[in-house]
Structure 1
Amino acid sequence: MTAKLIVKKLSKLFNDEKGEGLQRLKRGETKEQIFRETGVVVGVNDVSFEVQEGEIFVIMGLSGSGKSTLVRMLNGLIPPTSGEIWIDKDDVASCGMARLREVRRKKITMVFQHFALFPHKTVGENVAYGLKMKGAGKQERREAAIEALSKVGLQDHADSLPSELSGGMQQRVGLARGLATDPQILLMDEPFGALDPLIRREMQEELIVLQKELKKTIIFITHDLNEALLLGDRIAIMKDGSFVQVGTAQDIVSQPADDYVRAFVADIDRSRVYTASDIALEAHKISPKATVADALKVMLINDVDTIHVVKDGAAAGYITRQDANDAPPGTLVSKLMKPEPPSVSGDAYLNELYGPAQSGVPVAVTDEEGKLVGVVTQESIFEHLVGDEDPEASENAANDEEQQEEGRPQ
């Protein structure tokens, strides 16, 4: 994959005109110590990361962690104190204002939490506003606006005013406005934070569907870990202006970097984090043309009680040890197998496996072509739902964080 955004040693300090705060930061002093002794607020502290083209990179943290400051530096709304921000061959941190405007026009746009729609303009005019700033003609703007609105299911509301739409619909307009200019990078700062929980979930699912089609590079800011785990290809957890851990949802839930992260993930619904592919075991297979004796041999070698019967790569059925023991050794597997084994796609979450797994038969995991790539057992589902976090460590980390909140600059 190709890195679309590269951030190197990025820091932002507020009220540090003399540079004393930055020097203290480089000496290893804490955010709280610097604020207490100098009044300088450390917004972002020495952050480095890369975002791959077509990736949803989620940055999450509590209030005051620095995530919003970070995302505003990525498109030049806030100048960094030090560091580099590379979008392709342009360093947004150091380029001139003319070049920065060009990067914004052609490569990057932002979707805000509070819609920021012009109340006196129609929905279509709001969506087309960025194109107007680019100098596009009226007809081109209209066509692009309708196309963008169709992506979020609002093409019939192009001539409505924002006040005539619900909050969820207005957020869809904000998303459509971001898409209308066809940006390479979307910055989304808590875009669904003001929505009711049900509408918020709908917007999250809609973004997932859109991303499969558009494959944009997205930097998504949130304070909600469940939202981060649902949306992010990778997730960065921030604390006190720094990244504590960067990884996939599975990495963060199964291998938290420290007690702070462990406290975050302690109450996470693991059934919505892990997929069938994540926990799949090797599938033991046999041809329908094989005999029962062949099947028993496979079961014995692999110490399993069930194997799948595979035809053209797909699971056509399964055979159990008990059935095989009860049949003459020369019986063809095709005559004995049970058809239509329980199966799921590899991207199915664990909560979607509860029903198929109730049969007690290992659930067949299939790829996009329907071919058998692994199996999931009841035991493997249970193991991943239970996890191995230390509850005492999680509680201690949470208590420490609460005690520190009072002294933390926001």
Structure 2
Amino acid sequence: MNEAEPVIACRNLWKVFGDRPDRILSRLNCNPSAEELRQSGLIAAVRDVSLTIGRGEMLVVMGLSGSGKSTLVRCLSRLIDVTSGAIIVEGRDIGAMTETELIDLRRRKMGMVFQSFGLLPHRTVVDNVAFPLEMRGQDRSTRIARAMEMLELVGLKGRESYFPRELSGGQQQRVGIARSLAVEPEIWFLDEPFSALDPLIRREMQDEFLRLKGMLSNTIVFITHDFDEALRLADRIAIMKDGAVEQCDTPERIVMSPATEYVAKFTSAVDRSRVVRAAALAIPAEGTGAEGQPVAAGQTLRDLARLIVSDSRAFIPVADAQGHVIGALDRQRAVDLLLGEPA
């Protein structure tokens, strides 16, 4: 597979529930609305979704309850079959795979974490983590060694002999994540993995997840209904409503340029200064007169607030991680955004 090709691509994906949903296949090209389908006695959980997900990318899919986000991730992993459309994983149409091929793909390439921890209560923590490797047929010493590595990675070293009932909710979730990582998944599906946790543990788990993400190179699809969580974790965000994707873009562009009124409602209360980075506001430096000490492209406006307010330069150079100037930051525009003015 070419590195530039997407790891996952879905085209015109539909998942319709109801009595004989196949009878409306000929109408799907006309993109019927959710209401039109409801009047036909059908529910469209996923409506005409087309997405690509690149290698190493983290796509966060979000929306309110019933928006179709969990159904979408189950379609992408073919835990449920789609009504219409195609899902291509690493160049292969998973809809055309045999059951044996699909099982092998999941065992070799995919990891999954869901809201319910799904731990086996009669097994210790280390045996829970090693369980998918046991299903692969690996010998006990090899799978236990791998499970121990994963437990150390998620901060549970020393608790390998505990049973799930002896752990807190956050610790149980870490076991679920370690179990998913044990198979070294290239593709990782997580469906609201932190939703059952209290706010403090949830924040800790987000920190842990960001740490793991920095160490690994998985392609990740992460489902949430929490916009703050999406902003914190995502490379791109896909916002769903009534089974359709309203907008799929970077957190900055979604906040700065919502594509629909529905997306605008999601972003209306967001503090843009903690989302928008200097690189997103950079314009070509030529002709701006930008000079002097640059700011880092990855810094948010909140990070730069003191400098932006006190600096006398009209345009401030913006540099990438290697120190190369990639553009200039219009200081007045940055000040307006800090003050909550329109972009």
- TM-score, reference length from structure 2: 0.89
Separation of aligned partners in 2, 1:375 and 1:11: 44
Structure 2 equivalent of residue 246 of structure 1: 248
Counterpart amino acid of residue 16 in structure 2: L
Alignment partner for residue 264 of structure 2, among 262, 280, 295?
262
The counterpart of 2:72, out of the listed 62, 70, 73, is 70
- State the one-letter code of the partner of 1:8: R
Matched, 1:15 2:18: yes
For the residue of structure 1 that corresponds to 2:121, the secondary structure is coil
Report the counterpart of residue 335 of structure 2 in structure 1.
382
Deviations 1:223-272 (A, max 9, x none): 11222122111111111111111111111111111111111111112122
Determine the C-alpha separation between the residues in 1 that align with 2:93 and 2:269: 40
Q: Secondary structure at the match of 2:95?
A: coil
Match of 2:47, SS state, is strand
Partners of 2:284 and 2:171 in 1: CA distance: 45
Aligned partner (choices 190, 205, 208) of residue 207 of structure 2: 205
5+ residue gaps, structure 1: 285-300, 309-314, 316-342, 390-410
Identity of aligned residues (%): 43
Residues 375 and 302 (structure 1), Cα distance of their counterparts in 2 relative to 1, 3 Å cut: closer
Per-residue deviation, 1:127 = 1.0
Q: Does residue 157 in structure 1 map to residue 159 in structure 2?
A: yes
Amino acid at match of 1:353: L
Partner in structure 2 of residue 349 of structure 1:
300
Normalised to the residue count of structure 1, the TM-score between the two structures is: 0.76
Computed over aligned residues only, the root mean square deviation of the Cα atoms, in angstroms, reads 2.4
Distance 1:377 1:82, change over 3 A: closer
Deviation at 1:51, TM superposition (A): 0.6
Q: d(CA) in 2 for partners of 1:73 and 1:302?
A: 49
CA contact (8 A) 1:15 1:40 kept: yes
Structure 2: how far apart are the matches of 1:168 and 1:380?
A: 42
Cα distance in 1, alignment partners of residues 59 and 78 from structure 2: 19
For residues 17-56 of structure 1, the aligned pairs below 5 Å read 17=20, 19-35=22-38, 37-56=39-58
> In the alignment, is the contact (CA less than 8 A) between 1:13 and 1:21 conserved in 2?
no
Residue among 321, 324, 327 paired with 1:368: 321
Question: Is the CA contact 1:16–1:22 (under 8 Å) kept in the aligned structure 2?
Answer: no
Distance 1:203 1:282 in 2: 39
Instruction: Please state whether the residue corresponding to 2:177 is helix, strand or coil.
Output: helix
Contact 1:43 1:69 (C-alpha < 8 Å) held by counterparts: yes
Amino acid at match of 1:274: V
List aligned pairs for 1:158-237, cutoff 5 A: 158-237=160-239
Give the distance between the partners of 2:249 and 2:21, measured in 1 at CA: 36
Q: Structure 1 residues 387, 118: closer, same or farther in 2, change over 3 A?
A: farther
Q: For the structure 1 residues 130 and 205, does the alpha-carbon distance in structure 2 shift closer, same or farther, using more than 3 Å as the test?
A: same
Instruction: Identify the residue that residue 5 of structure 1 maps to in structure 2.
Output: 8
- Secondary structure of the residue aligned to 1:79 is coil
1:21/1:38 contact within 8 Å kept: no
Contact 2:31/2:48 (<8 A) preserved: no
Name 2:113's counterpart in structure 1.
111
Runs of 4+ residues deviating >6 angstroms: none
Aligned residues: 337
Partners in 2 of 1:169 and 1:145 — Cα distance?
Answer: 15
Give the Cα–Cα distance (whole angstroms) in 2 for the partners of residues 70 and 303 of structure 1. 48
Aligned to 1:323: none
- Relative to structure 2, which stretch is displaced further, 96-105 or 161-170? 161-170
| Structure 2 CA distance for partners of 1:303 and 1:276, relative to 1, 3 Å | closer
Query: SS of the counterpart of 1:3?
Result: coil
Aligned to 2:128: 126
RCO (CA 8 Å, sep 6+): is it higher in 1 or 2?
A: 2
Any conservation in 1 of the 2:21–2:42 contact (CA below 8 Å)?
A: no
Stretch moving more, 349-358 or 237-246 = 349-358
Change (3 A) 1:372 1:302: closer
Query: Offset at 1:373?
Result: 5.4
Shift of 1:189: 0.5
- Structure 2 runs not aligned, ≥5 long: none
CA distance in 2, matches of 1:260, 1:224: 15
| Secondary structure of the structure 2 residue equivalent to 1:115 | coil
CA contact (8 A) 2:16 2:43 kept: yes
